[in-house]
Amino acid sequence: MIEDTIAAISTPLGEGGIGIVRLSGKDSIALVDRIFCSPKNKSLKDSKSHRIIYGCIKDPSNDREVDEVLVTIMRSPYSYTREDVVEINCHGGMITLQKTLELVLREGARLADPGEFTKRAFMNGRIDLSQAEAVLDLIKSKTDESRRIAIEQLQGGLSEKITTLRDRMTDICVHLEAYIDFPEDEIVPASKHDMLETMKDVDSELQKLITTYDEARFFREGLSTAIIGRPNVGKSSLLNALLKKDRAIVTESPGTTRDVIEEYLNIKGLPLRIMDTAGIRDVEDIAEKEGVKRSLQSIENADLVIAIFDRSESLKNEDFEVIDKIKDKNAIIALNKCDLLPSFDKDEIVSRLTIYDSRVLDISAMRGDGIEELKDMIFHSCLKNWKEAREGIVVTNLRHKIAIEHAQASLKKALSALLESQPLEIIALEIRDSLDRLGEIVGAVATEDILNRIFNEFCIGK
Ligand SMILES: Nc1nc2c(ncn2[C@@H]2O[C@H](COP(=O)(O)OP(=O)(O)OP(=O)(O)O)[C@@H](O)[C@H]2O)c(=O)[nH]1
Ligand SMILES: [Mg+2]
């Protein structure tokens, strides 16, 4: 049983129509009662759950009104945290909210830590750990697709999947332990066969979950994409064409862009963090040199590189340098200025790379030709398995992926131990380990350290 009552401002800082001070804990109703008064002197304590009561917040030290409010009470266990929750809907100004929070703290509430409301929902068993993390994903989602994945996880999609897999492994464990307890019994071939089949099947289910991660991560964190090329090929023009606005400076003189320019773009729900960079060439100018250095860094860190070449001029040494830099990167080749006469064959580039023809296209950043095709290409270049993945459960969280990988590694060890007829104790040990790893995802096995790391990412008031 958690003893103290917590409080925080749950709405964003700044001005708004309303702002909410939220409390959770066993004293929250009595506590707000001491600073609240309704026109008919109705006390919150006597109000039914899930009602909204009109009144005002008063400072008991001087009996002055602080704000006119609506108070919602949600009694345990039917609340976000499963504790008594009170939400005070104030006018949405910083001072009224802060003053109300101050009074609540003065009356005995403690300021909530980041994510503490959600942590209580977890501690009190309303949601498991993966669902708590989904709350954060939902708040942070940047596109409709990332929102969809988060809400599915919040509703328990991943938890259910993990629980089913754990149940199947627990069955094996129980079976094995029965044999261990009666060492005179030989393991019957039929049951060994069944165990092997189950283990192989669980293994492939785990593998499927792991492969969904990379693609899903793009929806959550965004796909970082660098536009690169030698000076003057039209990198900034392409950025502007993709954004449909004049974001970056475009001029006819090479070396216009010096800094990396970063913008966000939404392609069919996929959030793209797109970077326009300085043209790559050997220069003496200090500022431009630094720009080139940053361009090269952005190639390193990008999930996808769009390499631009000016097709109206023959390829130059600097172009070959660009080709060299993207050799082992996930890349798309854009041959720009297709409104002009071409001066080289695209094979001159493709033959130097392992890229397929399907990753090369003609565009005109100036006229807008090929921009929609480029967007399609960006989407598909990173989401090869997405169509199948989105129909099932998707893993979006690195912590979950690592736990699944560990679980799979232990399961594989158990599998080969069983095949090699090693002692059953060893097999059982590995399966137990695998179970624990999966348990970390839902929080069945969770250390204080894991919990702190997760909830510290939340904002205060959630
Ligand atoms: N004809 C034609 N000209 C283009 C096209 N795209 C860009 N340009 C021109 O090419 C020149 C260079 O364009 P930028 O977008 O500044 O090129 P950049 O690659 O960003 O150049 P740096 O920032 O100097 O590296 C400008 O004069 C543009 O108008 C195109 O599709 N067709
Ligand atoms: Mg530029």
For ligand 2, a single-atom ion, which residues have Cβ within 5 Å? 235-236, 256-257
Tokens (6 digits) for 167:
């149940």
Q: Ligand 1 atom 16: the closest Cα is on which residue?
A: 250
| Residue 250 beta carbon below 6 angstroms from any ligand 1 atom | yes
Answer whether 288's CB lies under 8 Å from 208's CB: no
The ligand 1 atom at the shortest distance from the C-alpha of residue 336 is 31
The ligand 1 atom at the shortest distance from the C-alpha of residue 279 is 25
| Residue 269 beta carbon below 6 angstroms from any ligand 1 atom | no
| Residue 368 beta carbon below 6 angstroms from any ligand 1 atom | no
Q: Burial code of 269-295, b = ≥16 C-beta within 10 A, e = fewer?
A: ebbbbbbbbbbbbebeeeebeebbeeb
Query: Which residue of 230, 233, 237, 312 sits with most ligand 1 atoms within 8 Å of its CB, as the best mutation to test the pocket?
Result: 237
pLDDT at 239: 97
User: Looking at the DSSP assignment, which residues form a beta bridge with residue 355?
Assistant: none
Cα-to-centroid distance, 308 and ligand 2 (Å) = 11
Answer whether 206's CB lies under 8 Å from 407's CB: yes
Cα-to-centroid distance, 267 and ligand 2 (Å) = 22
pLDDT at 222: 86
pLDDT at 216: 77
Tokens (6 digits) for 74:
């949600």
Identify whether 183 is preceded by a cis peptide bond (ω within 30 of 0): no
Q: Which ligand is nearest to the CA of 241?
A: 1
Answer whether 456's CB lies under 8 Å from 449's CB: no
Rounded distance between C-alpha atoms, residue 291 and residue 238, angstroms: 18
Tokens (6 digits) for 154:
């919040």
H/E stretch holding 191 reads helix 189-221
Give the three-class secondary structure for 225. Answer: strand
Rounded distance between C-alpha atoms, residue 435 and residue 417, angstroms: 17
**Cα angle value 15/21/26 (rounded, 5°):** 175
Query: 32's torsion region: left (phi>0), alpha (psi -120 to 50) or beta?
Result: alpha
* 53-87 confidence digits (pLDDT tens): 999 999 999 999 999 999 999 999 999 999 999 99
Quote the radius of gyration of the chain (alpha carbons, Å): 29
Cα-to-centroid distance, 236 and ligand 2 (Å) = 4
| Residue 295 beta carbon below 6 angstroms from any ligand 1 atom | no
| Residue 381 beta carbon below 6 angstroms from any ligand 1 atom | no
Residue spans of the chain under pLDDT 70: 1, 356-357, 384-391
Query: 282's torsion region: left (phi>0), alpha (psi -120 to 50) or beta?
Result: beta
Cα-to-centroid distance, 251 and ligand 1 (Å) = 7
Rounded distance between C-alpha atoms, residue 48 and residue 438, angstroms: 41
Helix axes 398-419, 129-140, angle to 10 degrees: 140
* 217-244 confidence digits (pLDDT tens): 787 778 999 999 999 999 999 999 999 9
Q: Which ligand is nearest to the CA of 278?
A: 1
| Residue 318 beta carbon below 6 angstroms from any ligand 1 atom | no
Q: Ligand 1 atom 14: the closest Cα is on which residue?
A: 234
Rounded distance between C-alpha atoms, residue 287 and residue 293, angstroms: 10
* 89-143 confidence digits (pLDDT tens): 999 999 999 999 999 999 999 999 999 999 999 999 999 999 999 999 898 887 7
The residues, ordered by sequence, that sit 6+ positions from 317 with a Cβ below 8 Å of its Cβ are: none
Tokens (6 digits) for 287:
């500022």
The residues, ordered by sequence, that sit 6+ positions from 104 with a Cβ below 8 Å of its Cβ are: 7, 21, 23, 31, 32, 35, 88
Which parts of 5-50 fold into alpha helices (H)? 28-33
Show the domains of the chain with their CATH numbers: 6-112 (3.30.1360.120), 132-217+397-455 (1.20.120.430), 223-384 (3.40.50.300)
Strands (E), 127-260: 223-228
Question: Which residue shows structure tokens 């390499």?
Answer: 307
Cα-to-centroid distance, 335 and ligand 2 (Å) = 16
| Residue 277 beta carbon below 6 angstroms from any ligand 1 atom | no
Q: Which ligand is nearest to the CA of 251?
A: 1
Q: Which ligand is nearest to the CA of 253?
A: 1
| Residue 337 beta carbon below 6 angstroms from any ligand 1 atom | yes
Rounded distance between C-alpha atoms, residue 361 and residue 373, angstroms: 8
Cα-to-centroid distance, 297 and ligand 1 (Å) = 22
Q: Which ligand is nearest to the CA of 368?
A: 1
